[in-house]
Amino acid sequence: MFRAAANLRYAVTCCIPVGLLLFLGMGRIPAAPPDQRTQDAIQQSLDYLVSLQKRQGYWEANKGQYRVAMTALAGTAMLAEGSTATSGRYSKPIRLAVDYLLSMSRPNGLIGYREDFHYTYGHGYSMVFLSQVFGEEEDEKRREELREVLSRAVQFCADAQTSRGGWGYVSAAEGNDFDEGSTCITQVQGLRACRNAGIPVSREIIDRAKKYIEECTTSEGGVQYSIRGGGARAPITAAALAAMFNAGEYDTDVTKRMREYCRQRIWPERDLAAADGFWHYMHFYFAQVVYRTGGDDWNKYRGELHEKLLREMQQGGGWQDLQVGTVYATAVNCIMLQLDRGFLPIYQR
Protein backbone atom coordinates (compact mmCIF):
# COMPACT_ATOMS: atom_id res chain seq x y z
CA MET A 1 0.00 0.00 0.00
CA PHE A 2 2.93 2.37 0.43
CA ARG A 3 3.17 2.49 -3.37
CA ALA A 4 -0.44 3.57 -3.67
CA ALA A 5 0.19 6.32 -1.11
CA ALA A 6 3.24 7.48 -3.03
CA ASN A 7 1.24 7.64 -6.26
CA LEU A 8 -1.37 9.77 -4.55
CA ARG A 9 1.45 12.09 -3.54
CA TYR A 10 2.42 12.27 -7.22
CA ALA A 11 -1.12 13.45 -7.90
CA VAL A 12 -0.81 16.29 -5.45
CA THR A 13 2.71 17.25 -6.54
CA CYS A 14 1.84 17.20 -10.24
CA CYS A 15 -1.58 18.84 -9.76
CA ILE A 16 -3.29 15.82 -11.34
CA PRO A 17 -6.78 15.03 -9.96
CA VAL A 18 -6.54 11.97 -7.75
CA GLY A 19 -9.60 10.42 -9.39
CA LEU A 20 -7.98 10.69 -12.81
CA LEU A 21 -4.77 9.20 -11.45
CA LEU A 22 -6.67 6.21 -10.06
CA PHE A 23 -8.51 5.84 -13.37
CA LEU A 24 -5.18 5.76 -15.17
CA GLY A 25 -4.00 3.01 -12.86
CA MET A 26 -1.23 4.84 -10.99
CA GLY A 27 -3.05 4.53 -7.66
CA ARG A 28 -3.89 0.87 -7.99
CA ILE A 29 -2.43 -1.94 -6.00
CA PRO A 30 0.28 -3.52 -8.19
CA ALA A 31 -0.39 -6.68 -10.15
CA ALA A 32 0.26 -10.12 -8.69
CA PRO A 33 3.95 -11.02 -8.38
CA PRO A 34 5.66 -13.30 -10.92
CA ASP A 35 5.28 -17.07 -10.63
CA GLN A 36 7.31 -18.76 -7.91
CA ARG A 37 10.11 -19.90 -10.22
CA THR A 38 10.58 -16.40 -11.57
CA GLN A 39 10.23 -14.87 -8.11
CA ASP A 40 12.96 -17.13 -6.76
CA ALA A 41 15.25 -16.16 -9.64
CA ILE A 42 14.61 -12.45 -9.04
CA GLN A 43 15.35 -12.71 -5.33
CA GLN A 44 18.51 -14.74 -5.92
CA SER A 45 19.70 -12.21 -8.47
CA LEU A 46 18.91 -9.16 -6.36
CA ASP A 47 20.69 -10.80 -3.41
CA TYR A 48 23.63 -11.38 -5.75
CA LEU A 49 23.62 -7.68 -6.66
CA VAL A 50 23.69 -6.80 -2.97
CA SER A 51 26.83 -8.91 -2.61
CA LEU A 52 28.51 -6.84 -5.35
CA GLN A 53 27.72 -3.43 -3.87
CA LYS A 54 30.76 -1.55 -2.59
CA ARG A 55 30.76 -0.30 0.98
CA GLN A 56 30.58 3.28 -0.33
CA GLY A 57 27.22 2.40 -1.88
CA TYR A 58 28.06 2.10 -5.55
CA TRP A 59 28.22 -0.66 -8.15
CA GLU A 60 30.46 -0.66 -11.21
CA ALA A 61 30.75 -2.28 -14.63
CA ASN A 62 33.72 -4.04 -16.18
CA LYS A 63 37.04 -2.29 -15.59
CA GLY A 64 35.47 -0.04 -12.94
CA GLN A 65 33.49 1.89 -15.55
CA TYR A 66 29.95 3.32 -15.50
CA ARG A 67 29.97 3.56 -11.71
CA VAL A 68 27.08 6.04 -11.50
CA ALA A 69 25.00 4.30 -14.18
CA MET A 70 25.41 0.87 -12.57
CA THR A 71 24.44 2.25 -9.17
CA ALA A 72 21.26 3.80 -10.55
CA LEU A 73 20.28 0.67 -12.50
CA ALA A 74 20.93 -1.71 -9.61
CA GLY A 75 18.97 0.55 -7.27
CA THR A 76 16.10 0.72 -9.74
CA ALA A 77 15.99 -3.09 -9.95
CA MET A 78 15.53 -3.20 -6.18
CA LEU A 79 12.84 -0.52 -6.23
CA ALA A 80 11.01 -2.63 -8.84
CA GLU A 81 10.83 -5.45 -6.27
CA GLY A 82 8.76 -3.23 -3.97
CA SER A 83 11.45 -2.15 -1.53
CA THR A 84 12.07 1.52 -0.83
CA ALA A 85 14.85 3.46 0.86
CA THR A 86 13.06 3.00 4.19
CA SER A 87 11.29 -0.37 4.01
CA GLY A 88 11.53 -3.79 2.44
CA ARG A 89 14.18 -6.45 1.93
CA TYR A 90 16.50 -4.14 -0.04
CA SER A 91 16.01 -0.87 1.86
CA LYS A 92 19.63 -0.72 3.07
CA PRO A 93 21.34 -1.15 -0.33
CA ILE A 94 18.84 1.29 -1.86
CA ARG A 95 19.59 3.83 0.84
CA LEU A 96 23.33 3.42 0.32
CA ALA A 97 22.86 3.90 -3.43
CA VAL A 98 20.83 7.07 -2.86
CA ASP A 99 23.50 8.45 -0.52
CA TYR A 100 26.20 7.74 -3.09
CA LEU A 101 24.34 9.34 -5.99
CA LEU A 102 23.43 12.41 -3.95
CA SER A 103 27.11 12.77 -3.12
CA MET A 104 27.81 12.70 -6.87
CA SER A 105 25.60 15.72 -7.57
CA ARG A 106 27.76 18.60 -8.85
CA PRO A 107 27.06 22.35 -8.65
CA ASN A 108 26.37 22.39 -12.41
CA GLY A 109 23.69 19.69 -11.95
CA LEU A 110 25.60 16.69 -13.28
CA ILE A 111 25.01 13.54 -11.25
CA GLY A 112 28.37 11.92 -11.77
CA TYR A 113 31.93 12.93 -12.51
CA ARG A 114 33.83 13.65 -15.68
CA GLU A 115 36.12 10.62 -15.41
CA ASP A 116 33.21 8.18 -15.22
CA PHE A 117 32.95 6.54 -18.65
CA HIS A 118 30.29 8.23 -20.86
CA TYR A 119 28.87 10.09 -17.90
CA THR A 120 25.56 11.12 -19.49
CA TYR A 121 24.35 7.51 -19.14
CA GLY A 122 24.84 7.73 -15.39
CA HIS A 123 23.17 11.11 -15.26
CA GLY A 124 20.06 9.88 -17.08
CA TYR A 125 19.69 6.63 -15.15
CA SER A 126 20.22 8.52 -11.89
CA MET A 127 17.33 10.84 -12.72
CA VAL A 128 15.12 7.79 -13.21
CA PHE A 129 16.21 6.14 -9.96
CA LEU A 130 16.21 9.21 -7.73
CA SER A 131 12.87 10.46 -9.05
CA GLN A 132 11.26 7.15 -8.05
CA VAL A 133 12.87 7.44 -4.61
CA PHE A 134 11.64 11.04 -4.36
CA GLY A 135 8.08 9.88 -4.91
CA GLU A 136 8.34 7.55 -1.90
CA GLU A 137 10.29 9.75 0.50
CA GLU A 138 8.42 10.76 3.65
CA ASP A 139 11.13 12.78 5.39
CA GLU A 140 10.72 16.44 4.41
CA LYS A 141 14.42 17.29 4.71
CA ARG A 142 15.40 14.35 2.53
CA ARG A 143 12.64 15.17 0.02
CA GLU A 144 13.94 18.69 -0.30
CA GLU A 145 17.47 17.43 -0.86
CA LEU A 146 16.24 15.10 -3.59
CA ARG A 147 14.14 17.88 -5.12
CA GLU A 148 17.15 20.20 -5.32
CA VAL A 149 19.40 17.54 -6.84
CA LEU A 150 16.80 16.54 -9.44
CA SER A 151 16.01 20.16 -10.31
CA ARG A 152 19.69 20.85 -10.95
CA ALA A 153 19.93 17.60 -12.93
CA VAL A 154 17.13 18.74 -15.23
CA GLN A 155 18.90 22.04 -15.78
CA PHE A 156 22.13 20.19 -16.60
CA CYS A 157 20.21 18.23 -19.25
CA ALA A 158 19.00 21.48 -20.79
CA ASP A 159 22.52 22.91 -20.80
CA ALA A 160 24.06 19.69 -22.15
CA GLN A 161 21.59 19.29 -25.05
CA THR A 162 23.12 19.65 -28.50
CA SER A 163 22.09 22.22 -31.08
CA ARG A 164 20.05 19.53 -32.90
CA GLY A 165 18.20 18.44 -29.74
CA GLY A 166 20.09 15.30 -28.79
CA TRP A 167 22.79 14.41 -26.32
CA GLY A 168 26.18 12.79 -26.57
CA TYR A 169 28.35 10.77 -24.22
CA VAL A 170 29.30 14.03 -22.50
CA SER A 171 27.75 17.49 -22.54
CA ALA A 172 27.47 19.33 -25.84
CA ALA A 173 30.11 21.83 -24.72
CA GLU A 174 32.61 19.12 -23.82
CA GLY A 175 31.78 16.92 -26.79
CA ASN A 176 31.89 19.54 -29.56
CA ASP A 177 28.11 19.27 -30.06
CA PHE A 178 28.33 15.53 -30.80
CA ASP A 179 25.05 13.62 -30.46
CA GLU A 180 24.33 9.89 -30.12
CA GLY A 181 21.01 8.08 -29.98
CA SER A 182 21.36 5.86 -26.92
CA THR A 183 22.44 8.65 -24.58
CA CYS A 184 19.61 10.80 -25.91
CA ILE A 185 17.10 8.12 -24.95
CA THR A 186 18.55 7.93 -21.43
CA GLN A 187 18.08 11.66 -20.94
CA VAL A 188 14.53 11.66 -22.30
CA GLN A 189 13.46 8.87 -19.97
CA GLY A 190 15.20 10.54 -17.04
CA LEU A 191 13.49 13.86 -17.79
CA ARG A 192 10.12 12.15 -18.06
CA ALA A 193 10.65 10.41 -14.73
CA CYS A 194 11.47 13.75 -13.13
CA ARG A 195 8.41 15.36 -14.64
CA ASN A 196 6.24 12.50 -13.38
CA ALA A 197 7.63 13.13 -9.90
CA GLY A 198 6.69 16.81 -10.01
CA ILE A 199 10.08 18.28 -10.92
CA PRO A 200 9.58 21.12 -13.45
CA VAL A 201 10.81 20.16 -16.93
CA SER A 202 10.59 22.59 -19.83
CA ARG A 203 8.41 21.26 -22.64
CA GLU A 204 10.92 22.75 -25.07
CA ILE A 205 13.64 20.30 -23.96
CA ILE A 206 11.37 17.31 -24.59
CA ASP A 207 10.01 18.70 -27.86
CA ARG A 208 13.53 19.26 -29.18
CA ALA A 209 14.49 15.72 -28.17
CA LYS A 210 11.42 14.24 -29.90
CA LYS A 211 12.27 16.19 -33.04
CA TYR A 212 15.83 14.86 -32.85
CA ILE A 213 14.56 11.27 -32.65
CA GLU A 214 12.20 11.85 -35.56
CA GLU A 215 15.03 13.26 -37.68
CA CYS A 216 17.17 10.22 -36.84
CA THR A 217 14.43 7.85 -38.00
CA THR A 218 14.75 6.40 -41.49
CA SER A 219 11.86 5.81 -43.89
CA GLU A 220 11.88 2.14 -42.81
CA GLY A 221 11.50 3.11 -39.16
CA GLY A 222 15.00 2.39 -37.90
CA VAL A 223 16.72 4.98 -35.73
CA GLN A 224 20.27 5.91 -36.69
CA TYR A 225 23.26 5.95 -34.36
CA SER A 226 23.48 9.74 -34.72
CA ILE A 227 21.70 12.50 -36.56
CA ARG A 228 24.89 12.69 -38.62
CA GLY A 229 24.44 9.10 -39.77
CA GLY A 230 25.88 5.78 -38.68
CA GLY A 231 23.05 3.60 -39.92
CA ALA A 232 19.79 2.44 -38.38
CA ARG A 233 20.21 0.07 -35.43
CA ALA A 234 17.63 -2.18 -33.84
CA PRO A 235 18.76 -1.62 -30.21
CA ILE A 236 18.62 2.17 -30.55
CA THR A 237 15.27 1.92 -32.33
CA ALA A 238 13.77 -0.08 -29.45
CA ALA A 239 15.13 2.45 -26.96
CA ALA A 240 13.86 5.39 -29.01
CA LEU A 241 10.40 3.85 -29.22
CA ALA A 242 10.32 3.39 -25.43
CA ALA A 243 11.34 7.03 -25.01
CA MET A 244 8.65 8.21 -27.43
CA PHE A 245 6.09 6.19 -25.47
CA ASN A 246 7.33 7.90 -22.29
CA ALA A 247 6.80 11.22 -24.04
CA GLY A 248 3.20 10.29 -24.87
CA GLU A 249 3.79 9.51 -28.56
CA TYR A 250 2.03 6.22 -29.27
CA ASP A 251 0.37 6.27 -32.68
CA THR A 252 2.20 8.83 -34.77
CA ASP A 253 3.53 8.00 -38.23
CA VAL A 254 7.06 7.87 -36.77
CA THR A 255 6.24 5.50 -33.90
CA LYS A 256 4.24 3.25 -36.25
CA ARG A 257 7.29 2.93 -38.50
CA MET A 258 9.48 2.23 -35.49
CA ARG A 259 7.13 -0.51 -34.28
CA GLU A 260 7.13 -2.20 -37.67
CA TYR A 261 10.93 -2.02 -37.80
CA CYS A 262 11.14 -3.62 -34.34
CA ARG A 263 8.58 -6.27 -35.29
CA GLN A 264 10.75 -7.38 -38.19
CA ARG A 265 14.17 -7.11 -36.57
CA ILE A 266 13.66 -7.80 -32.86
CA TRP A 267 10.44 -9.78 -32.28
CA PRO A 268 8.24 -11.64 -33.26
CA GLU A 269 9.62 -12.12 -36.77
CA ARG A 270 13.05 -12.65 -35.28
CA ASP A 271 13.67 -15.32 -32.66
CA LEU A 272 13.95 -13.80 -29.20
CA ALA A 273 16.94 -16.02 -28.49
CA ALA A 274 18.87 -14.78 -31.54
CA ALA A 275 22.35 -13.58 -30.67
CA ASP A 276 22.94 -9.84 -30.66
CA GLY A 277 25.87 -7.82 -29.41
CA PHE A 278 23.54 -5.48 -27.51
CA TRP A 279 20.84 -7.98 -26.53
CA HIS A 280 20.37 -6.81 -22.95
CA TYR A 281 20.22 -3.14 -23.92
CA MET A 282 17.79 -3.84 -26.77
CA HIS A 283 15.37 -5.99 -24.80
CA PHE A 284 15.53 -3.79 -21.72
CA TYR A 285 13.78 -1.11 -23.77
CA PHE A 286 11.81 -3.37 -26.07
CA ALA A 287 10.27 -5.11 -23.05
CA GLN A 288 8.99 -1.71 -21.89
CA VAL A 289 7.42 -1.14 -25.30
CA VAL A 290 5.66 -4.52 -25.43
CA TYR A 291 4.55 -4.22 -21.79
CA ARG A 292 2.92 -0.88 -22.52
CA THR A 293 1.28 -2.40 -25.59
CA GLY A 294 -0.13 -5.23 -23.47
CA GLY A 295 -2.55 -7.90 -24.65
CA ASP A 296 -1.56 -11.13 -26.36
CA ASP A 297 1.74 -9.69 -27.59
CA TRP A 298 2.87 -9.03 -24.04
CA ASN A 299 1.72 -12.42 -22.78
CA LYS A 300 3.61 -14.26 -25.54
CA TYR A 301 6.72 -12.09 -25.37
CA ARG A 302 6.85 -12.24 -21.57
CA GLY A 303 6.70 -16.04 -21.64
CA GLU A 304 9.57 -16.30 -24.13
CA LEU A 305 11.59 -13.62 -22.35
CA HIS A 306 11.24 -15.19 -18.91
CA GLU A 307 12.14 -18.65 -20.18
CA LYS A 308 15.28 -17.36 -21.87
CA LEU A 309 16.41 -15.38 -18.83
CA LEU A 310 15.73 -18.17 -16.35
CA ARG A 311 17.55 -20.64 -18.57
CA GLU A 312 20.63 -18.42 -18.81
CA MET A 313 20.83 -17.31 -15.16
CA GLN A 314 24.06 -18.17 -13.36
CA GLN A 315 24.01 -20.59 -10.48
CA GLY A 316 23.40 -18.49 -7.40
CA GLY A 317 21.81 -15.64 -9.35
CA GLY A 318 22.74 -12.98 -11.87
CA TRP A 319 23.64 -12.92 -15.55
CA GLN A 320 26.83 -12.43 -17.50
CA ASP A 321 27.46 -9.72 -20.08
CA LEU A 322 30.88 -9.61 -21.68
CA GLN A 323 30.58 -6.04 -22.94
CA VAL A 324 29.44 -4.11 -19.87
CA GLY A 325 29.45 -6.62 -17.05
CA THR A 326 27.49 -8.74 -14.61
CA VAL A 327 25.98 -5.84 -12.66
CA TYR A 328 24.52 -4.35 -15.82
CA ALA A 329 22.99 -7.57 -17.14
CA THR A 330 21.64 -8.56 -13.73
CA ALA A 331 20.07 -5.17 -13.04
CA VAL A 332 18.31 -4.75 -16.39
CA ASN A 333 17.16 -8.39 -16.44
CA CYS A 334 15.64 -8.03 -12.99
CA ILE A 335 13.81 -4.89 -14.10
CA MET A 336 12.43 -6.72 -17.14
CA LEU A 337 11.28 -9.66 -15.02
CA GLN A 338 9.43 -7.30 -12.68
CA LEU A 339 7.58 -5.03 -15.12
CA ASP A 340 4.26 -6.71 -14.32
CA ARG A 341 4.57 -5.66 -10.70
CA GLY A 342 3.95 -2.07 -11.73
CA PHE A 343 5.69 -0.49 -8.75
CA LEU A 344 7.61 2.19 -10.66
CA PRO A 345 5.62 5.02 -12.33
CA ILE A 346 8.15 5.40 -15.16
CA TYR A 347 7.46 1.83 -16.34
CA GLN A 348 3.71 1.71 -15.69
CA ARG A 349 1.14 1.45 -18.47
Q: Domain spans of the chain?
A: 1-30, 31-347
Q: What is the pLDDT of residues 227-274, one digit of tens each?
A: 999 999 999 999 999 999 999 899 999 999 999 999 999 999 999 988
Percentage of residues of the chain with pLDDT beyond 90: 87
Report helix, strand or coil for 233: strand
Residue 31, pLDDT score: 55
Residue 178, pLDDT score: 97
More confident residue, 299 or 31: 299
Structural fold of domain 31-347: Glycosyltransferase (1.50.10)
Cα–Cα distances in Å, from 258 out to 182, 184, 197, 232, 318? 15, 16, 28, 11, 31
Q: What is the pLDDT of residues 141-156, one digit of tens each?
A: 999 999 999 999 999 9
pTM for this structure? 0.91
Q: What is the pLDDT of residues 300-317, one digit of tens each?
A: 999 999 999 999 999 999
Give the helix ranges, DSSP H, for the chain: 2-13, 18-24, 36-52, 67-80, 91-103, 119-136, 140-160, 181-196, 203-216, 234-246, 253-265, 279-293, 295-312, 326-337
Residue 60, pLDDT score: 98
Q: What is the mean pLDDT of residues 285-292?
A: 98
pLDDT reading at 189 higher than 70: yes
Q: What is the mean pLDDT of residues 319-343?
A: 96
Q: What is the mean pLDDT of residues 90-98?
A: 98
Give the amino acid at 6.
Answer: A
Residue 349, pLDDT score: 85
